[in-house]
Structure 1
Amino acid sequence: MTPLHELSLAEIAQRLREGDVTARVVTGQILDRAQALSARTNAFITLLPERALAAADRADAARAAGRLLGPLHGVPITVKDMFDIAGVATTAGMPSRIDHVATQNATIIERLDAAGAIIIGKVNLAEGVFGKYLPPFNEPLNPWSLEHWGGASSGGSGVSVAAGLGYGSMASDTGGSIRMPSAVNGVTGLKPTWGRISRHGAFELAALLDHVGIIARSAEDVALMLQAVAGPDPKDPTTLARPAPDYRVALDEPVSGLRIGVPRQWLAHGVETGLLDAIETALAVFSRLGATISDAALAPEPELVDRWYDICTAHVALVHEESFMRHRDSYSEPLALAIETGRSLSSDRLQRAYRYRSEFSGRLAHGMMHLDLLAVPAIPTAPPTRRAVETMDNETMFALHRFTSPFSMAGVPTLTLPCGLTPQGLPYALQLVAKPLAEPLLLRAARAFQKETGHHQRRPGLL
């Protein structure tokens, strides 16, 4: 029998609904695994066993009374330690915030609780949702290879899902922080349309670029979590006013007739050959399923990551304006540099960055007028080693972001999913990009691909 931690979120949710297993048993096993592997993965900042077991008991009591709490009834998940949980510290990966205890829940925590989810802990993230991983938290370790990168600031979310330490994780993405951990950990990550999920009670990095999203094992799992948290929130006036649809309804509809564009000019330079081959193989699967594959008329955007960095650092400087003055010595150099860069930006440069953002969003919209999806890498290579990332210069680091930051700038939804393995047995990933609010289409396309291929069912062998 498959161990409980290896099941998908959808599978464990079904078993819980049907009474094959109790929430107490599932939560207890996941907590035991999280505690046993905590030091080896560095996935967690704070485990919440008492809160989790109490929630599991409430879920079991509700089911015994003939009542299910919601689509995530009894399912253990994790959240990135940037979301407030009342009575628990929100560190945002910053040593100066270890004692920063929240007094109320973030909106997504309220919605997860209402949907019956069991939050077992808060997972690791880079300093300030931006910089490097700092002691005492340290860097999450990729369960496919401990020498390889666990991803950007949502690394704890990607590692926890890949390692079976929770069936899904709430995360965030400002320039790639859901997509990169999803890619290198062989899991599925959704960066939804900007404003689709509330940011109330979330630590801010750059408000106009921050997307709250989801990492899980499959598109079906992501859909279940998205159903629980998406939608308008009066506490966050930047959320979209349009109600969220039922993301589960069309999951298994066919994808025949789907129009997928490939911006081959974007892929012509700097993309690893093995990854290109894996993407072409994935596109052939979509073609067999009835989708039409064509070239997308989108030219490369050589300035885009630079302009993204301008906007991001300007916001970062505002967020840290007070604390940077008081705790300058506790900041790592990457975050301190970002703050100082943001503070020094001229108004002319910042206005050019905002204009570039608007123009790019328009070019993207025009380029997708006759397309449903774009297919691009999430990162241009196989998962890099931790050492390689630590020693990257700015040019190389910006190149790593060239397939993620564009779609943060435009605020459009993307979904990253595994599409193969390197010769060394590490995951390759594909990123699908859609028009605003087309999450149902993204999820349907990814679901069809995953049913056909099974890449998402591979599990890392180190744990």
Structure 2
Amino acid sequence: MPLDDLPFANITELASAYRARKLSPVEVTRAMLERIERLEPTLHSYVRVTADIALEQARKAEAEFGRGEFKGPMHGVPVGLKDLCETKGVPTTWGTRILKDYVPKEDGTVVRKLFDAGAIMLGKLQMTEGAFSVHHPEVVAPVNPWHPDHWPGVSSSGSGVSVAAGLCYGAIGTDTGGSIRFPSGANGLTGLKPTWGRVSRHGVQALADSLDHLGPMTRSAADAGAMFAAMAGSDPNDPTSLDEPVPDCLAGIEQGIRGLRVGLDSRYVYDVCERDTAKVIDDARKVLADLGAKLVEISMPDKTVPMYKDWAKFCAVETAVAHEKYYPARKAEYGPVLADLIEQGRALGVLDLMHVYHDRLVFKGQLRKLFAQVDVLLVPVHPFGNPSADQLDAVFKRPNGIDDVLRFTAPFDMSGSPTITIPGGFDPKGLPIGFQLVGRHLDEALLVRAAHAYQGATDWHRRHPSL
């Protein structure tokens, strides 16, 4: 593989090249560090680059390959870690100023699992403050590599930009209301939000504990499956982690999707979608049908609406709990948006909270019954295409604009459902637009297989920005 092609190679391609001894992890890591040094001053996706650690890990991987030891597809693969994942001896700031000097003494579970799988840490990736919606006022936000005036997505902004720009091969993202899916859609990536509890949250700073999901952000479905397998699994340090075995998403990935039942609620989707997003959904329907899937018209549960309208209330309360150690004692160090969310959570009445909690339980049950009719749901990431900063600002300023932003993402955090975001086309400006497939709990392998089948029939995921 020519070095010029390296930045946009797939993880699975790297793994094959390593096994054939056609590439060296040291060579690959050095090439990535040089690219980061060249592009980071413009893109701002990394909080810090850990070059010394990366090269040490690369040399270790190279020695292991020399002994014929191959740990799996993540072995020797340079990745980026969102800066809420605790890393031993490396500052983990949570996108905040309150933790600007925090240096963990141990790796979080998800970090340890990736390291055990042989992954190489290039650095810690930028994120919004506390993993909510806006970067801290003192932070220079990451820049969308497709167009600097357009949204990079939040909160895993650095994760999305770095993978799209070829500054790492995969990144950890977290998703509480859409924070894997928004930057995956905005940057043309494949992002897997696993079932809640599939990936341990031990050693990960929280936004809202019962809503937070950790998952991989990559350039293909196969890569997402490979990285997910390395990240997931039961963890005695996280009693909420699931005990079910983690599937090998690459086994059987080529089986196709003939007979797969794909549910679509036309009113839920098309009543609010702008033209470019609607076209992506239309095109996805056609491709999936051509691959043998069966399109089924469904009606989303009636509690779907409260799930995105009341998500902020639930998130606010859990965020207030997560920041109880620091807020209000260090309120002056907070940006205004996150501080306002915490204040909302502290002020919410118990009765209001319990209404949302009850609706959430009902929605989970309704969704479980819906999945007796279909295998996956086809939904957009959000109703608008790939917005500029001005367009996004206009969305937030219009009445109930936040509802449109969260309409297709927040419900599936409230339910804990797995989703996969896939590049599905481009707008007239050449900016990527993604869509989601939503699955039953624990059905990550099916989502990866369905996305892989789609990507075998399209090439949207193989396009990348010119940098």
- For normalisation by structure 1, the TM-score amounts to 0.97
Shift of 1:333: 1.4
Residue 61 of structure 2 is matched in structure 1 by: 59
Confirm or deny: 8 A CA contact 1:173 1:179 kept in the other structure. Answer: yes
Residue 18 of structure 1 is matched in structure 2 by: 20
Rounded to whole Å, the distance in 1 between the matches of 2:366 and 2:110 is 33
Distance 1:458 1:152, change over 3 A: same
Rounded to whole Å, the distance in 2 between the matches of 1:325 and 1:286 is 50
Task: Name the stretch that deviates more: 316-325 or 434-443.
Answer: 316-325
The one-letter code of the counterpart of 2:134 is K
Residue 266 of structure 2 is matched in structure 1 by: 264
Residue 443 of structure 2 is matched in structure 1 by: 438
Residue 381 of structure 1 is matched in structure 2 by: 384
Confirm or deny: 8 A CA contact 2:363 2:415 kept in the other structure. Answer: yes
Residue 456 of structure 2 is matched in structure 1 by: 451
Shift of 1:95: 1.7
The one-letter code of the counterpart of 1:308 is W
Residue 72 of structure 1 is matched in structure 2 by: 74
SS at structure 1 position matched to 2:422: strand
Rounded to whole Å, the distance in 1 between the matches of 2:374 and 2:100 is 47
Shift of 1:137: 3.1
Task: Name the stretch that deviates more: 134-143 or 156-165.
Answer: 134-143
Are 2:416 and 1:416 equivalent residues in the alignment?
A: no
Confirm or deny: 8 A CA contact 1:144 1:185 kept in the other structure. Answer: yes
The one-letter code of the counterpart of 1:16 is Y
Confirm or deny: 8 A CA contact 2:206 2:322 kept in the other structure. Answer: yes
Rounded to whole Å, the distance in 1 between the matches of 2:391 and 2:336 is 18
Q: 2:192 aligns with which of 180, 190, 193?
A: 190
Rounded to whole Å, the distance in 1 between the matches of 2:80 and 2:400 is 33
Rounded to whole Å, the distance in 2 between the matches of 1:421 and 1:94 is 34
Rounded to whole Å, the distance in 2 between the matches of 1:239 and 1:458 is 35
Residue 40 of structure 2 is matched in structure 1 by: 38
Rounded to whole Å, the distance in 2 between the matches of 1:265 and 1:388 is 24
Confirm or deny: 8 A CA contact 1:9 1:75 kept in the other structure. Answer: yes
Are 2:130 and 1:128 equivalent residues in the alignment?
A: yes
Shift of 1:96: 2.2
Structure 2: segments with no counterpart, 5+ residues: none
SS at structure 1 position matched to 2:379: strand
The one-letter code of the counterpart of 1:225 is M
Rounded to whole Å, the distance in 2 between the matches of 1:158 and 1:84 is 19
Residue 118 of structure 2 is matched in structure 1 by: 116
Q: Cα RMSD between the aligned structures?
A: 1.3
Shift of 1:190: 0.6
The one-letter code of the counterpart of 1:417 is I
Rounded to whole Å, the distance in 2 between the matches of 1:262 and 1:118 is 40
SS at structure 1 position matched to 2:255: coil
Query: Residues 109-130 of structure 1: CA distance to partner in whole angstroms, max 9, x if unpaired?
Result: 1111111110100100000111
SS at structure 1 position matched to 2:453: helix
Q: 1:81 aligns with which of 80, 83, 86?
A: 83
Rounded to whole Å, the distance in 1 between the matches of 2:195 and 2:284 is 24
Q: 2:222 aligns with which of 220, 223, 231?
A: 220
After superposition, residues 194-209 of structure 1 pair within 5 angstroms as 194-209=196-211
The one-letter code of the counterpart of 1:197 is V
Confirm or deny: 8 A CA contact 1:258 1:291 kept in the other structure. Answer: yes
Residue 249 of structure 2 is matched in structure 1 by: 247
Rounded to whole Å, the distance in 1 between the matches of 2:372 and 2:13 is 37
Confirm or deny: 8 A CA contact 2:12 2:73 kept in the other structure. Answer: no
Distance 1:29 1:75, change over 3 A: same
SS at structure 2 position matched to 1:338: helix
Rounded to whole Å, the distance in 2 between the matches of 1:171 and 1:202 is 11
Shift of 1:432: 0.3
SS at structure 2 position matched to 1:322: coil
Query: Residues 190-248 of structure 1: CA distance to partner in whole angstroms, max 9, x if unpaired?
Result: 11000001111000111100001110000000011011111101111100011212121
The one-letter code of the counterpart of 1:380 is P
SS at structure 2 position matched to 1:437: coil
Q: 1:279 aligns with which of 269, 278, 281?
A: 281
Rounded to whole Å, the distance in 2 between the matches of 1:166 and 1:130 is 23
Residue 344 of structure 2 is matched in structure 1 by: 341
Confirm or deny: 8 A CA contact 1:16 1:23 kept in the other structure. Answer: yes
Task: Name the stretch that deviates more: 394-403 or 332-341.
Answer: 394-403
Task: Name the stretch that deviates more: 384-393 or 344-353.
Answer: 384-393
After superposition, residues 117-196 of structure 1 pair within 5 angstroms as 117-196=119-198
- For normalisation by structure 2, the TM-score amounts to 0.97
Confirm or deny: 8 A CA contact 2:418 2:443 kept in the other structure. Answer: yes
Shift of 1:136: 4.4
Confirm or deny: 8 A CA contact 1:131 1:332 kept in the other structure. Answer: no
Confirm or deny: 8 A CA contact 2:44 2:126 kept in the other structure. Answer: yes
Query: Residues 275-328 of structure 1: CA distance to partner in whole angstroms, max 9, x if unpaired?
Result: 112211111111111110121122563332232111110000111113122221
Rounded to whole Å, the distance in 2 between the matches of 1:84 and 1:347 is 33
Distance 1:390 1:126, change over 3 A: farther
The one-letter code of the counterpart of 2:463 is R
Query: Residues 354-381 of structure 1: CA distance to partner in whole angstroms, max 9, x if unpaired?
Result: 0010111112122221100000001111
Rounded to whole Å, the distance in 2 between the matches of 1:306 and 1:314 is 15
Q: 2:8 aligns with which of 6, 12, 26?
A: 6
Shift of 1:413: 0.3
Rounded to whole Å, the distance in 2 between the matches of 1:59 and 1:302 is 49
Shift of 1:98: 1.2
Q: 1:320 aligns with which of 302, 319, 323?
A: 323
Are 2:212 and 1:210 equivalent residues in the alignment?
A: yes
The one-letter code of the counterpart of 1:379 is H
Structure 1: segments with no counterpart, 5+ residues: none
Shift of 1:135: 4.9
Q: Percent identity?
A: 39
Rounded to whole Å, the distance in 2 between the matches of 1:66 and 1:17 is 9
SS at structure 2 position matched to 1:84: coil
SS at structure 2 position matched to 1:323: coil
SS at structure 2 position matched to 1:222: helix
The one-letter code of the counterpart of 1:412 is S
Shift of 1:143: 0.5
Residue 329 of structure 1 is matched in structure 2 by: 332
SS at structure 2 position matched to 1:302: helix
Residue 429 of structure 1 is matched in structure 2 by: 434
Residue 305 of structure 1 is matched in structure 2 by: 308
The one-letter code of the counterpart of 1:244 is V
Confirm or deny: 8 A CA contact 1:307 1:356 kept in the other structure. Answer: no
Rounded to whole Å, the distance in 2 between the matches of 1:367 and 1:131 is 31
